[in-house]
């Protein structure tokens, strides 16, 4: 049977036409006309003071910490159950990532865990919209205000999600987006930093281009302006090719999100009575972007056996997110037991806007069979 991939980008003729326009313009590099247009589109879409298009979300996280003046030895609290990019960004500035445990039902950071970790060295927190669902920003912002901390929203997975009627990406003073190939809107790779304060946006834009600003803009000045390098910058620009693709993708975001919502709803119907797994939980005050559809397997189920059986049938699957504190590069004595448990028992099944109804039904049936078979083998071995 035809394979069903875990992820698949929804790219087509509209995106190709936008790329062709960039080729014809003669400016495929970063911070050109299409990059500027994308930034204006993002700022309007999220209602923020500025938006800066960058090469990826990891770059946006790094630039955010630089903008907040994080120094070596400072502590930044990060959500533990996620791709490890937030903790890596903290290390980029020689600061200390402090891992906060998460809610068992949503996988988002637990505000009480954050509160317990605040110390005199804490300067801020990176809050993750885990797998596409926003965290508890009301409680987290209250904590930050009480202790004078900054909040960065890692909305990498959450383009299209909402929290109490507000879009993910607008829930903190600075937010970071990803446009990686598995996201709801994609250019293959890419990211953006959103800032309520346009002064932060201006600073980030300068740093993202070696500290000298847009070469495209300099090329339009009459005469020969020679930029001076007055501070260390980075080559974090997003190409105009990628920006053009993203402009189309963001224009299609409602359509693409509707398709993902339909897939998630159908999975919910087909798997609702399966006792050997728990379905994703979405609190009433927020909506999910469904970057991933992740189920939590019963402790009696051998996850590796389930994955082997699904992949043997041509169905993609993955482990979900990571318990960052368990990764060798970050491993410490500090424990996040809920995150560790989710890391051990979560399983991602195919989720993207190109899935057909027949494919969703095939995945659900295969998953049911696999978890029951793996449970039977585990119980047989225990006997």
DSSP result, 60-87: HHHHHHHHTT--TT-EEEEESBS-SHHH
- In the chain, list all ranges with CATH 3.90.1150.10: 254-382
- In the chain, list all ranges with CATH 3.40.640.10: 13-252
Look at residue 383 in the predicted model and tell me its pLDDT: 44
Helical H runs in the chain? 13-25, 33-46, 57-67, 85-92, 111-117, 137-147, 198-207, 215-218, 240-251, 253-271, 303-312, 337-345, 357-382
> Which residues does 68 contact at the CB level (< 8 Å), separation at least 6?
123, 124, 150, 152, 174
Look at residue 206 in the predicted model and tell me its pLDDT: 95
pLDDT along the chain (383 residues), means of 10: 96 98 96 96 98 98 98 98 98 98 98 98 98 98 98 98 98 98 96 98 96 85 86 96 98 98 98 97 98 97 97 97 97 93 98 98 98 78 51
Look at residue 297 in the predicted model and tell me its pLDDT: 98
Fold (CATH) for 13-252: 3.40.640
Residue 41 · residue 250 · CB < 8 Å: yes
| CB burial string 186-224: b at 16+ within 10 A, e below | bbeebbbbbbbeeebbebbbbbbbbeebbbbeeeeeeee
**How far is 209 from 238, CA to CA, in rounded Å?**
10
Look at residue 380 in the predicted model and tell me its pLDDT: 60
CA-to-CA separations, 303 to 27, 92, 318, in angstroms, rounded: 48, 34, 10
Q: Which CATH architecture has domain 254-382?
A: Alpha-Beta Complex (3.90)
pTM for this prediction: 0.96
Active-site positions?
183
Rg (CA), the chain: 22
Instruction: List, in sequence order, every beta strand (DSSP E) within 155-214.
Output: 162-163, 166-167, 174-178, 191-195
Question: What are the pLDDT digits (tens) for 109-122?
Answer: 999 999 999 999 99
**How far is 37 from 33, CA to CA, in rounded Å?**
6
Look at residue 227 in the predicted model and tell me its pLDDT: 87
Look at residue 379 in the predicted model and tell me its pLDDT: 60
């Amino acid at each position: 049977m035809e394979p069903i991939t875990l992820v698949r980008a929804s790219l087509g003729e509209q995106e190709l036409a936008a790329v062709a326009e960039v080729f014809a313009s003669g400016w495929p590099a970063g911070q050109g006309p299409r990059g500027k247009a994308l930034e204006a589109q993002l700022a309007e879409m999220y209602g923020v003071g500025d938006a800066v298009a960058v090469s990826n979300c990891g770059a946006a996280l790094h630039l955010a910490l630089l903008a907040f003046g994080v120094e070596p030895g400072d502590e930044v609290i990060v959500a533990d159950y996620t791709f490890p990019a937030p903790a890596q960004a903290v290390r980029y500035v020689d600061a200390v990532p402090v891992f906060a445990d998460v809610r068992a039902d949503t996988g988002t950071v637990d505000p009480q865990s954050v509160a317990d970790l605040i110390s005199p060295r804490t300067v801020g927190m990176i809050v993750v919209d885990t797998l596409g669902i926003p965290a508890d920003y009301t409680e987290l912002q209250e904590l930050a205000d009480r202790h004078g901390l900054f909040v960065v929203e890692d909305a990498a997975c959450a383009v299209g999600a909402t929290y109490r009627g507000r879009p993910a990406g607008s829930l903190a003073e600075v937010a970071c987006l990803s446009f990686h190939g598995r996201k709801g809107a994609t250019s293959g790779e890419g990211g953006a930093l959103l800032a309520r304060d346009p002064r932060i946006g201006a600073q980030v834009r300068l740093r993202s281009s070696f500290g000298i600003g847009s070469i495209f803009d300099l090329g339009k000045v009459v005469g020969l302006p020679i930029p001076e390098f007055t501070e260390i910058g980075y080559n974090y620009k997003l190409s105009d090719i990628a920006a053009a693709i993203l402009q189309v993708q963001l224009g299609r975001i409602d359509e693409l999100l509707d398709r993902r919502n339909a897939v998630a709803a159908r999975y919910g119907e087909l798997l609702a009575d399966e006792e050997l797994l728990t379905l994703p939980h979405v609190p009433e005050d927020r909506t999910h972007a469904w970057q991933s559809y992740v189920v939590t397997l019963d402790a009696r189920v051998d996850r590796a056996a389930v994955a082997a059986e699904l992949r043997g049938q041509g169905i993609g699957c993955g482990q979900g997110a990571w318990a960052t504190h368990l990764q060798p590069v970050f491993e410490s004595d500090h424990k996040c037991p809920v995150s560790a448990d989710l890391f051990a028992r979560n399983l991602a099944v195919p989720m993207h806007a190109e899935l057909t109804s027949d494919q969703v039904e095939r995945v659900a049936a295969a998953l049911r069979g696999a978890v029951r078979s793996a449970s039977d083998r585990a119980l047989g071995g225990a006997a």
